[in-house]
Amino acid sequence: MTTMTTTMVQRLTFRASLVATTVKRLTGNWWRRRDRFAAALLLAGVAASLSAVPAHAQFRTPPGTNERALENAQERLKTNGSDVSALRDAIRAAMRLGNLDTAATYARRAQQLAPNDPIIVAANGAIEIHRARPREGLALFSMADKLGAPLDAFAADRALGYDLIGDQPSAQFYYARAHRSAPDDEVLRRYALSLSISGEYETGEAMLKPLLHVQDAAAWRMQAFMLAINGRPAEAREVLGRILPSDLAGSIGPYMDVLPNLSRAQQAAAAHLGLFPSVLPPMSANRAVQAERAPRRRIGAGWLDDGDD
């Protein structure tokens, strides 16, 4: 068995364990409507990651890159536990791996050592955003700006924060910066959804197509949300039925019907964080929601044109 194959088996084993742990955790007395939806989305993401990866797929970030970056940072920290640069690298790698708790642990250590380091402040902002606290996270990014952080610092996470408060133009500005500085498939998936939320489904779909062509399961899942958000829930359910087990697709399917009626911020939270309002906004005219969902202008003419620096 090759090293690559061994690594893949180890990852699949870990992800299968995650599924089992999540199911066990989510079968308690708090199996409420919101929790069922969040759990289904989490399991859908894990199921998507378990899908076979086509041999011809071209990764912008080679598999194992972030794991190696985290290991390298950890080795440096063993030599010098006060190495702020190593802590920065550890936070970035952990965030890219989706390991929020590990990232937060390193961020706390870094903040104690360098409380005014702009990259560390931005990192804490990114962590807050992934904890579904976008306004607090964006406030930390503003503080990082004043301390001299570059706009590219955790730009994709900052973009997500703007999506989560319904400010898609700002989100798309930072997605463009993130993609320009470090091309990444996840940035494209988030960017495509943001465009769809702001009424530009065709542009978002065109952005997503290269990933769909290599059968990227996470991209297909994102397209399902994009279809539902744009009033095509039947097509969204069909996509889910193709990429997920029938029972899992069925558990998510009903939520596709209500996505068009949510605010922009709620749509982003549902797709990215698995958070869904327990009480849906009325089907009739909701002036606040209608105003929030009104067409908005986006920064830049092209999908990778982020305007002037």
How many residues does the structure list for the chain?
A: 309
pLDDT in tens, 191-247: 999 999 999 999 999 999 999 999 888 999 999 999 999 999 999 999 999 988 888
DSSP per-residue codes, 109-175:
HHHHH-TT-HHHHHHHHHHHHHTT-HHHHHHHHHHHHHTT--TTTTHHHHHHHHHHTT-HHHHHHHH
The answer on 300 and 198 residing in a single domain is yes
**pLDDT beyond 90 at 64:** no
**Residue 71 placed within a domain:** yes
Provide the number of structural domains found in the chain: 2
Residue at a domain's end among 168, 184, 208: 168
CA contacts within 13 A on the Cβ side of 15: 18
The answer on 240 and 292 residing in a single domain is yes
Q: What is the CATH number of the domain that holds 100?
A: 1.25.40.10
Q: Are 101 and 95 in contact (CB under 8 A)?
A: no
- The pTM for the full model equals 0.74
The answer on 300 and 161 residing in a single domain is no
Among 56-60, 61-65, 295-299, name the one with the lowest average pLDDT: 295-299
Residue at a domain's end among 140, 168, 196: 168
For 118, 195, 224, the CA distances from 294, given in Å and listed in that order, are 35, 13, 22
**Residue 7 placed within a domain:** no
Q: 280's torsion region: left (phi>0), alpha (psi -120 to 50) or beta?
A: beta
**Which contiguous run of DSSP H or E holds residue 20?**
helix 3-25
The answer on 173 and 161 residing in a single domain is no
Residue at a domain's end among 117, 147, 168: 168
**Residue 100 placed within a domain:** yes
Full residue range of the structural domain in which residue 173 is found: 25-59+169-309
